[in-house]
Chains A and B, each alone.
Chain A
Amino acid sequence: GDSVTQMEGPVTLSEEAFLTINCTYTATGYPSLFWYVQYPGEGLQLLLKATKADDKGSNKGFEATYRKETTSFHLEKGSVQVSDSAVYFCALIFSNAGGTSYGKLTFGQGTILTVHP
């Protein structure tokens, strides 16, 4: 079945450091890929998405590129801030060649990011 694997965490960085959180996936067909962020005590917020190979999703300084050849969707940010401290989830929605899907999001286990001043 479909699955998502995220890098082992937690990740601790100093403010303005470069961030990479690795994500790889296993899926048949043509999944859409997402990064969600969860701040303490809150639900999930969509951070960025990519719906086909070589697409780059970006938002709030975060970027991720859909790499079909390596089945990866790594999250990057050039300069993190204390306010970026949260749990980050990589996720996919599978769809077949016709683009149909019932929209089940499959999540990775999450990566805790802590940024110190």
Chain B
Amino acid sequence: ETGVTQSPTHLIKTRGQQVTLRCSSQSGHNTVSWYQQALGQGPQFIFQYYREEENGRGNFPPRFSGLQFPNYSSELNVNALELDDSALYLCASSFGPPVKDEQYFGPGTRLTVT
């Protein structure tokens, strides 16, 4: 069974640029959720994708957008990067919805905005 994978591992961008992060879900999972974890904080929910559609969104501006593909992999896109976007971005997969059970996390992508 293949776990959740994310790419790239680390990324450095300049303020105002755009970035795309990628996630492959665990085998058999059809739902992908994205979280932002600032240094020293708990992860914050960005949004969730199910059947290639956004299925819920946290308190993040529209410049955070995503996609889910037919193979259930997903992308997180962030436009007009700001310094506060520097964080660890975590992808989690699960089978659902409704999703009341556990989500399985990837290792994350560390984004630094300078």
Q: Which residues of A contact B (CB under 8 A)?
A: 4, 32, 34, 36, 42-46, 49, 51, 89, 91, 93, 95, 99-110
Contact of B99 among A93, A106, A108 (CB under 8 A): A93
Beyond the given A43-B107, A101-B97, A107-B43, could you list 13 further A-B residue pairs with CB under 8 A, ordered by the A residue number?
A42-B108, A46-B102, A46-B103, A49-B101, A51-B100, A95-B98, A99-B100, A103-B99, A103-B100, A104-B33, A104-B56, A105-B103, A109-B42
In the bound complex, do residue B58 and residue A102 qualify as a contact, i.e. CB atoms below 8 Å apart? no
Question: Can you spell out 11 A-B residue pairs with CB atoms less than 8 angstroms apart?
Answer: A43-B106, A43-B107, A43-B108, A44-B92, A95-B100, A102-B55, A102-B97, A103-B31, A103-B97, A103-B100, A109-B42
Contact check, A103 vs B41: say whether CB atoms are below 8 A apart: no
Q: Are the CB atoms of A49 and B98 closer together than 8 Å?
A: no
Q: When chains A and B are docked, how far (Å) is the Cα of A99 from the Cα of B101?
A: 11
Q: Do most interface residues of chain B lie in helix, strand or loop, or is the interface mixed?
A: loop
Interchain CB contact under 8 A, B41 and A44 = no
